[in-house]
Amino acid sequence: MSQPPVTETPDEIFAREEEPVDGLHKEEAPPRARGSVLGWMRANLFSSIPNTLVTIACAALLAVAVPPLIQWALVEAVWSAADPAQCRAAEGACWALIEQKHRFILFGLYPFDQHWRPLLAVALFVVAVAVSCHPGFWRPWLAVLWVCTLGICALLMWGGVLGLTFVETERWGGLPLTLILAAVGIVCAFPISIVLALGRRSEMPAVHALSVGFIELIRGVPLISVLFMASVMVPLFLPEGVTVNKLLRALIGIVLFTAAYLAEAVRGGLQSIPRGQFEAADALGLSYWQKTVLIILPQALKIAIPPIVNQFISMFKDTSLVIIIGLFDLLTTAKTALTDPPWRPFYVESYLFAGLIYWAFSFFMSRYSLFLERRLEAGAKRA
Amino acid sequence: MSEGSRPETAPAITLEHVHKWYGSFHVLNDISLTVRRGERVVICGPSGSGKSTLIRCVNGLERHEKGRLIVNATELTPDVRSVERVRRDVGMVFQSFNLFPHLTVLENLVLAPVWVKKMPKAEAQRIALEYLGRVHIPEQANKYPGQLSGGQQQRVAIARALCMQPQIMLFDEPTSALDPEMIKEVLDVMVELAEGGMTMIVVTHEMGFARTVANTMVFMDGGTIVEMAPPETFFTAPSSERTRKFLSQILAH
Ligand SMILES: Nc1ncnc2c1ncn2[C@@H]1O[C@H](COP(=O)(O)OP(=O)(O)O)[C@@H](O)[C@H]1O
Ligand SMILES: [Mg+2]
C-alpha cells in the first residue's frame, strides 16, 4: 500500500491540535488559499485534461470573436455625424444614429420640448427603486415614499396642472412606457398571484375551481392573444359610451397574464413548506389568515424568490408585445427610429441600444434577487 | 409525586367510543378514555398503532368520525368554533419541534399570545422570558431555531406551547427525534411540568419517564386500547399478552 498523500501543511496540523481547549480556544482562521494567479489558473482552468481542452477552446473562440467586435464597435465606429452618409462610408458601427435618435427611442412620440418630464419621472422612479433595495429602509415610510413618487411621476407624465401641458397616454412611449407596464404589472400581479396560489390550495371547492380555471386558462394562451383580447374584448363588456384607454387595457392584459404565471411560482413555494409548520400554527390556535400571513407566506415567498424574479424579468421583456395593440414601448420606438430612410441600414445599432437598456434592468433584477436570497438566508438559518 | 394514584378531579378530556378511518383503514377503533384534571397519561404502542392520530384528534388536528370527544367541557363537533375553543386550552409538542424557522426564539414564543390572545406585546415578552427560564434556556431568546441544538429546540417548542397558558398539554413522541444525550434535558422539563400539576397526555417509549410521571399507562395496538392500568400494575403484571411482548421488546434495550 502506498502512503496517502500529505495534504496538510505542518501549520495546519498544529492549528488543529491546538483547537479543542474547552471554551477558551482561539478562533482558528480558515486555511489561506495558497499560491498566486498561476496557482489559481492551474486549479481552475487546467485542473484536468477535459478542463484544459475547454479552456483552450474558449480562448480560441474569444480570440476569433473579440478583435473584430472591438474593431466594429469602437475603433472604426462613427460616434457623431449629422449626415448618415458619413456612416455609410465608414466600416464600423454607426453610433451617430443613437446620437441623432436617442430622444425618440427613449421617449417616443412624447412632445419633444417636454422630454424633461418623462426623463425626470424615470429618474425619480429609479431612485425610488434604489432606495427600496436597501433592507434597512423597509419601514412604513417607504410606502409613503412610493405613493408620493408614483403620484409625482403620474403628474409629470400626464400634466394638465401646474402649468404643465396635458399629454394623453396615446403619446407616451419608449422607456417610461416600458417601465410603467413592467412596474404596474409587477405591483398588481404579485398580490393577485398570491391570492390565486392560496386559492388553488384551498379546500373550498368553488375557490379552488375558480383559481385553477383562471390559471390554466391564462397559461394556455400566448400573451399576445391575452393582450389582443384585453384590447378587443374589454370594451365589449363596458356600457356604451364608456371607453377604457389603450394603456389601461394593455395593463389589464399584462397583469392577468403575469398573475397566472406568478401564481404557479408562489404555489411551488407554498408546497415546499413542511406540514409541521401548518400544524404547529393550527395547534397554537392561529386563524387561517394569521397562519398564512405570519408563518407560511414569509417562508414560501423566500423559497420562491428565484422563480418569481425569473417571471418578473421575463414579463419585463414581454411588455414589448404591446406593439400588437399599438403602444410605442422601448423596442417599438427603437424600430420606428429606423423608418427615416437614410438611417435605415443601421438597425443593429438601434436594437443594440434598446437591448442594452433591457439588459441593464434585467441584470439588475437578477443580481438583486441573488442578494436578497443570501440576505434572507443569513437572517433565518435553517437547521 | 403521588405516583400511580389517579386524581379524583373532574374530567379534562373524555373520549367515548371514538372511531376514525383513513379511507377504509380503521385507524382508531372504539377508543374510550377519560383523563382527569392534573392526570398524566402515557400512551405507548408499536409504530402505526394510532397513537399520534389519537392525540391529534384531541386538539382537532385530525377529526374523529364517530363517537364523542369532549375537551374541557367543550365537545369537538364539525363546527370550527368548537375547535378554536379547544385549542385555546390545549398545547401541543411535536416530534419534529415545528418551530417557525424565520422567527427568533422570542418571536416564536410571543406570536400566538399576541395574535390569538391579543395580549400586549410587552406582557407577552415578559411571559415568554419567564417560560424560557423554566425550560432552562433564557439566554437563547434572540437566536433563530436553526442555531439551536435539537434538545434546545424542543424545549423552546414546549415553552411556546406553555406561553398560551394551556390547561392541557399533548406530547407526541417529544424525544424520538433527539440525539441520546439531549433526551434527558427535555424529559427533565416535562417532569417539572408534571410536578406543577399540568394535565398531560404523552406518547413516548421512554419507560423510565413513564414510571416517574404517569398516573395511567395506556397500551395501543391496531387502533384499539389494549391495556389501560396504573404504572405499577402495567409494568409488573400486564393482563394482555401483547402488552407483555411489547414491554419485553422495548425494555430489552
Ligand atoms: N393522513 C393519513 N392518511 C392515511 N393514512 C394515515 C395518515 N396518517 C396516518 N396514517 C396511517 O394510520 C396509521 C396510524 O398512524 P399514527 O397515528 O401516526 O400511528 P403511530 O403514531 O402510533 O405510529 C398508520 O398506519 C399510518 O400509516
Ligand atoms: Mg406517531
Q: What is the pLDDT of residue A114?
A: 86
Helix (H) or strand (E) holding B12: strand B11-22
| Largest separation between any pair of C-alpha atoms in chain A | 93
Give residue A233's pLDDT: 77
CA–CA distance, A189 with A174 (Å, rounded to integer): 22
Q: Is residue A271 part of a domain?
A: yes
Residue A356 included in any domain:
yes
| Chain A / chain B CB contacts < 8 angstroms | 75
Identity (one letter) of the amino acid at A226? Answer: V
C-beta of B27 in contact with ligand 1 (< 6 A) = yes
- Residues 6 or more apart whose Cβ sits within 8 Å of residue B252: none
- Measuring CA to CA, which residue among B126, B197, B102, B46 is closest to residue A302? B102
Residues A247 and A250: their CA atoms lie apart, in Å, by 5
Averaged pLDDT score across all residues of chain B: 92
Give the count of alpha carbons within 13 A of B241, CB side only: 0
Q: What whole-number distance in Å separates Cα of residue B141 and Cα of residue A14? A: 37
A224: left (phi over 0), alpha (psi -120 to 50) or beta: alpha
**Number of structural domains in chain A:** 1
Distance CA A108, CA A326 (A): 12
Closest listed ligand to the CA of B53: 1
The ligand 1 atom at the shortest distance from the C-alpha of residue B50 is 17
In the prediction, which pLDDT does B59 show?
93
| Pair A266, A197: CB distance under 8 Å | yes
- Single out the residue of B93, B150, B103 nearest to residue A383, CA to CA: B150
Decide if A312 is inside a domain. yes
Assess A81–B contact: CB distance below 8 Å, yes or no: no
The Cα–Cα gap between A328 and A306 comes to: 30
Report which DSSP code applies to A166. P
Report the alpha-carbon distance of residue A299 to residue A160 in Å, rounded: 45
Other CB atoms within a 10 A radius of the CB of residue A175 amount to 23
DSSP state of A255: H
* Domain containing residue A326: 94-101+187-380
Cβ B48 under 6 angstroms from ligand 1: yes
Range B157-170 average pLDDT: 95
What are the pLDDT digits (tens) for A334-375?
888 888 887 777 888 888 888 999 899 889 888 988 888 888
Name residues whose C-beta falls within 8 Å of residue B148's C-beta, 6 or more positions apart in sequence. Answer: A383, B105, B137, B140, B156
The Cα–Cα gap between B119 and B171 comes to 25
Residue A213 has pLDDT above 90, yes or no: yes
Evaluate whether residue A206 is within a structural domain: yes
At A379 the pLDDT is: 60
The stretch B148-177 carries a mean pLDDT of: 94
Beta strands in chain A (DSSP E): 173, 328-329
Distances (CA, A) of A284 to A129, B58, B89: 38, 13, 10
Give the strand pairing for B216-221 and B40-44: parallel
Confidence category of residue A31, pLDDT binned at 50, 70, 90: low
How confident is residue A16, by pLDDT bands cut at 50, 70 and 90?
A: very low
Q: Is the pLDDT assigned to residue B222 strictly greater than 60?
A: yes
Phi, psi of B149, rounded to the nearest 5 degrees: -75, 165
- pLDDT tens digits, residue range A233-282? 777 777 777 777 788 888 888 899 999 999 999 999 999 999 999 999 99
Length of chain A as a residue count: 383
Confidence of residue B253 (pLDDT cuts 50, 70, 90): low
Q: What is the pLDDT of residues B106-117, one digit of tens each?
A: 999 999 999 999
Of the candidates B72, B85, B63, the one whose C-alpha atom is nearest the C-alpha of residue B18 is B63
Mean residue pLDDT across chain A:
83
pLDDT on residue A373 = 84
Structure confidence at residue A43 as a pLDDT band (50, 70, 90): confident
Name which residue leads in pLDDT, A317 or B14: B14
Average pLDDT, integer, range B181-187: 92
- SS3 assignment, position A72: helix
**Distance between CA A324 and CA A331 in Å, rounded?**
12
In this predicted structure, the answer to whether residue B7 has a pLDDT above a threshold of 70 is yes
A241: left (phi over 0), alpha (psi -120 to 50) or beta: left
Q: How confident is the model at residue A324 (pLDDT cuts 50, 70, 90)?
A: confident
Contacts of B101 in chain A (CB under 8 A): 299, 380-383
Q: Which grid cell is A52?
A: 484544459
B51 CB within 6 A, ligand 1: yes
In a domain, A144, yes or no: no
* A123 vs A31 pLDDT, higher one: A123
* Cβ of B176 below 6 Å from ligand 1: no
Query: Which residue, A246, A102, A269, is CA-closest to A181?
Result: A246
Name, in order, each residue with C-beta under 8 angstroms of A242's C-beta and a sequence gap of 6 or more: none
The answer for residues whose C-beta is within 8 angstroms of residue A280's C-beta and 6 or more apart is A295, B92, B94, B98, B99, B100, B157
In a domain, residue A281? The reply is yes
When pLDDT is cut at 50, 70 and 90, the band that residue A23 belongs to is very low
Residue with cell 412596474: A183
Share of chain A above pLDDT 70, in %: 89
pLDDT tens-digit readout, A155-167: 888 888 888 888 8
Counting Cα atoms < 13 Å in the Cβ hemisphere of A2 gives 3
* Cα–Cα distance for residue pair A234/A223, rounded to 1 Å: 15
Q: Which tens digits make up the pLDDT trace of B44-102?
A: 999 999 999 999 999 999 999 999 999 999 999 998 899 999 999 999 999 999 999 99
The length of chain B in residues reads: 253
Q: Which of A27-41, A82-96, A170-184, A316-330 has the lowest mean pLDDT?
A: A27-41
* pLDDT at residue number B211: 92
CATH code, domain carrying A257 = 1.10.3720.10
List, in order, residues 6 or more apart from B228 with CB less than 8 Å away: B33, B216, B217, B218, B219
| The predicted structure's pLDDT at residue A13 | 40
Name residue A169's amino acid.
Answer: T
In a domain, A41, yes or no: no
Q: Assess whether pLDDT exceeds 50 at residue A80.
A: yes
CA of B20 to the centre of ligand 1 (A): 11
* Eight-class DSSP state of A78: B
pLDDT exceeds cutoff 90 at A330: no
Residue numbers in B near A282 (CB within 8 A):
60-61, 87
Residue B202 has pLDDT above 90, yes or no: yes
Whether A169 is in a domain gets the answer no
Contact A200, A208 (CB under 8 A): yes
Q: Measure A90 CA to ligand 1 centroid, in angstroms.
A: 79
Distance CA A56, CA A41 (A): 12
Query: Does residue A121 surpass a pLDDT of 50?
Result: yes
Interface with A, mutate which of B52, B89, B111 (most A CBs under 10 A): B111
Q: Which residue has the cell 437614410?
A: A342
In this complex, do B100 and A280 lie within 8 Å of one another by their Cβ atoms? yes
Asked if residue B64 lies in contact with residue B18, where contact means CB atoms within 8 angstroms, the answer is: yes
Is residue B150 over pLDDT 60? yes
pLDDT confidence of residue A223: 87
Distance, CA of A376 to CA of B172 (rounded, Å): 31
Instruction: Please tell me the number of the ligand nearest to residue B24's CA.
Output: 1
What's the predicted TM-score (pTM) here?
0.82
Euclidean distance between CA atoms A116 and A167, whole angstroms: 13
